[in-house]
Amino acid sequence: MTIERVGIVGAGQMGNGIAHVFALAGYEVLLNDINGDALQAAIDLIDRNLTRQVDKGLIEAAAKNDAMARIGTTQTLTDLGQTDLVIEAATERETIKQAIFEDLVPHLKPDTILTSNTSSISITRLASRTDRPERFMGFHFMNPVPIMQLVELIRGIATDEPTFKACQKVVARLGKTSTASEDFPAFIVNRILMPMINEAIYTLYEGVGSVQSIDTSLKLGANHPMGPLELADFIGLDTCLAIMNVLHDGLADTKYRPCPLLTKYVEAGWLGRKTQRGFYDYRGDVPVPTR
């Protein structure tokens, strides 16, 4: 399977980062979003991030210009039909992802590989709603995509070996490292990371420590680059809650029960950095704990 043209669904935080790394690695990229403003914002952000890499001496200016020239945009989902690999990076809601694949499938080439950047949803279940479950995989990038070196590759029950090998080669060409995960709720990284974050929120909820003391303890006591509550804000509290619900529903174990305080923050619309408030308030010059 030769992959040269890549279609990306969703121009948000993950989609623009995925477009960035693919274009820089020499792939032709077609970025899709239903929102034209989101597409333009993604292109502007990719341009700024590539410029930052040039300024740091990580890439040449010519490489930046070539990468930008390889990225096209479209608001029409079916335009992605002639690409060799599609990566869905839309909102972490299964119904939305299913609708995207159902709309896209009739327009795909017979050998196009379909993938999802989902952080927790069943690959087998998503694949079953398409005409090519054997050519469907989880392709889970970490955030921020240009910086993080890991990609989780998740095989559904029907994923064939040529598809897995083709995706492995893509990850290697991107200059990243892949790990193989079986298709169980939240895969590897989030299966371990999210319960830790959830436990940190319980620690806050039960009054064991403040936001600042919890984050400082994990940064200095466990050598984590970010505290768990700071990291939750960075990821998005709605995403954290969605993944914990997938774990709780999929594994039926009470240890994955989302903390009520996490639910309350999401109900309030305090989702972290993207809404300027979460466990920290980001509206001033310096983030201030909200509890």
Q: Point out the residues that are catalytic.
A: 119, 140, 152, 190
What is the C-alpha to C-alpha distance for residues 247 and 143, in angstroms, rounded to an integer? 20
Q: Is 29 exposed, middle or buried (0-12, 13-18, 19+ CB in 10 A)?
A: buried
What is the C-alpha to C-alpha distance for residues 225 and 251, in angstroms, rounded to an integer? 29
Q: Could you tell me if 281 and 288 are in contact, meaning their C-beta atoms sit under 8 angstroms apart?
A: yes
Q: Output the 3-class SS for the chain.
A: CCCCEEEEECCCHHHHHHHHHHHHCCCEEEEECCCHHHHHHHHHHHHHHHHHHHHCCCCCHHHHHHHHHCEEEECCHHHHHHCCEEEECCCCCHHHHHHHHHHHHHHCCCCCEEEECCCCCCHHHHHHCCCCHHHEEEEEECCCCCCCCEEEEEECCCCCHHHHHHHHHHHHHCCCEEEEEECCCCCCHHHHHHHHHHHHHHHHHCCCCCHHHHHHHHHHHCCCCCCHHHHHHHHCHHHHHHHHHHHHHHHCCHHHCCCHHHHHHHHHCCCEHHHCECCEECCCCCCEECC
